Amino acid sequence: MNVSTLKLTLAAAAVLAATQAVAGPVGYGAATTGGGNKAAVNVSSLADMAAKIKAYSGSGGLVLNYTGKFDFASIKDVCAQWKKPAQTLEIKGKNDITIRGAADSSANFGIRIVGDSSNVIVQNMTIGLLQGGEDADSISIEGTSSGKPSKVWIDHNTIFASIKSCPGAGDASFDGGIDMKKGANHITVSYNYVYNYQKVALNGYSEKDTLNAGSLTTYHNNRFENVKSRLPLLRYGKAHIFNNYFGNVDTSGINVRMGAMALVESNYFENVRNPVTSRDSAKLGYWDLRSNFVGSGITWGAPEDGIYANATDWKTTKAYGPTGYNYTASAAAGVKAKAIATAGARTNLAQ
C-alpha cells in the first residue's frame, strides 16, 4: 500500500468513526433502551404518530420513524405563532418507545413525555418555531400525580425558535427547548443543537418543586448557540454537564439554584454572559468546575435584585463527588469543533 492510498484509507476510517450510529446513552440515562430492536413503523404526521402511540399496548417496544416534513419558510410572521393553539405529541403512561426522525424530516410540533412513562428515546428530530407560546415546549419531560418519567434519552435533535420579543408575549413567544420537571429522573441529553432560543433548558418546575431534589441529569456534547438563558436552569437535584459548547449567550448560562449541584466539566464557553451563576432564587446552588475552556467575550453582571453568586474566579464551591457511571470527557479546547460537526439532527448520529 502506497502513502497516498494509506492516507485515503485512514481518512475514510476517520469519517466512518465520526459517523457511526450511537450505541447507547452515557450518563444518568444510560439504562434507556427505548423500543429496542423492534421493527420501525413509519409515521408521516403528528396525528399518525399519536394514533400509533394510542394503539400501542404501553410496553414491549415501539419504534416510530418520523418521515414528515414541515416548511419553516411558510411561517411569514414568527410573532403570530404564540397566538395559535399548541401542537404536541403526548406520551403518557407508555414505556419502551423510540421516536426517531428520518434524515430529511422536520416538525412543527412538540413532544411531551409525562406521568409514569419510562424508557423513552427521542432522536434525530428537527423541531422548530412551535405554535402555542407558553403552552409549547419543544421537548418536555414532566411528572404528574400518576407517576414520574424516568430513563429518558434526548439525543441528536435540532431545536430552534426565535429570540425576537413579540408584542404581548415577550420572552414567552416560544417556551422551553428541553424542559424537565416534577420528579423527572435519570435523563441524558446529548448531541443536541439548540439555537435561537430564549429559554433553553429548565430543570425543576419551581422553587417549591422539591420532587426535583432526587433528579439526576447528564448534559453532554450539546451545542447551545445564539440563546439567552437556562443552560440549564437547575433547581434542586444534580446535573453533570460536560463537553458542551456555549456560544453567544445573552443573559446567563448554567444557573444553579435552590441548593442544586452541578458538575461543570470540560465545556467550551465563548461570548457568554454569566456562564456559571446562581441567581433569581431564594437559595444559591453549588458547582464543581473542572477543566473548562474559557474563551473570549466572557462577561459578568448582577441581577436586578436578590442574592446571587457568579463563578468569576472559576473555582469550585462544593465537591460533586462520583457520578456513579463511566464516561470519558474530551479535552475542552476541542469541544467547539466537535459540537459543530456532531451535534444536532442529520449528522448521521455522529460522535
Average pLDDT, consecutive stretches of 10 residues, N- to C-terminus, the chain (351 residues): 36 37 87 98 98 98 98 97 97 98 98 97 98 96 97 98 92 94 98 98 96 97 98 98 98 98 98 98 98 98 96 98 98 98 97 95
Query: Which residue among 100, 112, 223, 230 is the active-site one?
Result: 230
Residue 2 is predicted with a pLDDT of: 39
pTM of the model: 0.94
Residue 165 is predicted with a pLDDT of: 87
230 carries an active-site annotation:
yes
Alpha-carbon span 336 to 218, nearest angstrom: 18
- Which residues are CB-neighbours of 194 under 8 A, at least 6 positions away? 158, 159, 160, 177, 178, 200, 201, 222, 223, 224, 225, 227
Alpha-carbon span 127 to 122, nearest angstrom: 11
Burial letters for 141-177: b for 16+ Cβ neighbours within 10 Å, e otherwise? bbbeeeebbbbbbbbbbbbbbbbeebeebeeebbbbb
